[in-house]
């Protein structure tokens, strides 16, 4: 008897979405779940660090401007506490006036920066790049 062909299972990736925009976080969580990802969320960098203490993440999607701890400060803490994640960030921002400074910071990190509003396909391409590192 021939053995049944089973579809190949994709390995699920665990992502952390950090943003203080609740609606955007929910949208990203829904989209990324359909991309075969397990998604956790945090409203700011402090919450993100707390979550990183108890879970291992494959990548972080992080807004640059948030209260309590912004994306740049979070990334600096990640370098110290979770260095394996430092090059696995996708930064997002909607602040046009900060684009120059934001771009310089993100360029120094070697990570990706997406400007809101971004296309979901842009996010998919950036995520594929980050997860291949």
- What's residue 63's pLDDT? 96
Q: Is the peptide bond before 8 cis (omega within 30 degrees of 0)?
A: no
Residue 50 near residue 72, CB atoms below 8 Å? no
- What's residue 1's pLDDT? 45
Please report the sign of the dihedral spanned by the C-alpha atoms of residue 93, residue 85, residue 123, residue 111. positive
Contacts for 20 with CB less than 8 Å, ≥ 6 apart: 43, 44, 63, 66, 67
Is the pTM higher than 0.85? The answer reads yes
- What's residue 5's pLDDT? 56
- What's residue 104's pLDDT? 84
Q: Which residues of the chain have pLDDT under 70?
A: 1-10, 96-101
- What's residue 97's pLDDT? 53
- What's residue 12's pLDDT? 85
Cα dihedral angle (44, 130, 110, 30), rounded to 10 degrees? -30
Per CATH, which fold does 13-131 belong to?
A: Rossmann fold (3.40.50)
């Amino acid at each position: 008897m021939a053995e049944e062909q089973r579809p190949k299972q994709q390995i699920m990736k665990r992502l952390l979405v950090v943003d203080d925009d609740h609606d955007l976080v929910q949208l990203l969580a829904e989209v990324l779940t359909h991309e075969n990802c397990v998604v956790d969320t945090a409203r700011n960098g402090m919450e993100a660090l707390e979550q990183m203490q108890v879970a291992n993440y494959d990548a972080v999607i992080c807004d640059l401007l948030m209260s309590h701890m912004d994306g740049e400060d979070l990334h600096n803490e990640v370098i110290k506490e979770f260095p394996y994640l430092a090059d696995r960030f996708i930064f997002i921002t909607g602040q046009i006036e900060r684009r120059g400074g934001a771009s310089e910071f993100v360029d120094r990190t070697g990570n990706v920066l997406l400007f809101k509003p971004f296309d979901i396909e842009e996010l998919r391409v950036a995520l594929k790049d980050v997860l291949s590192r």
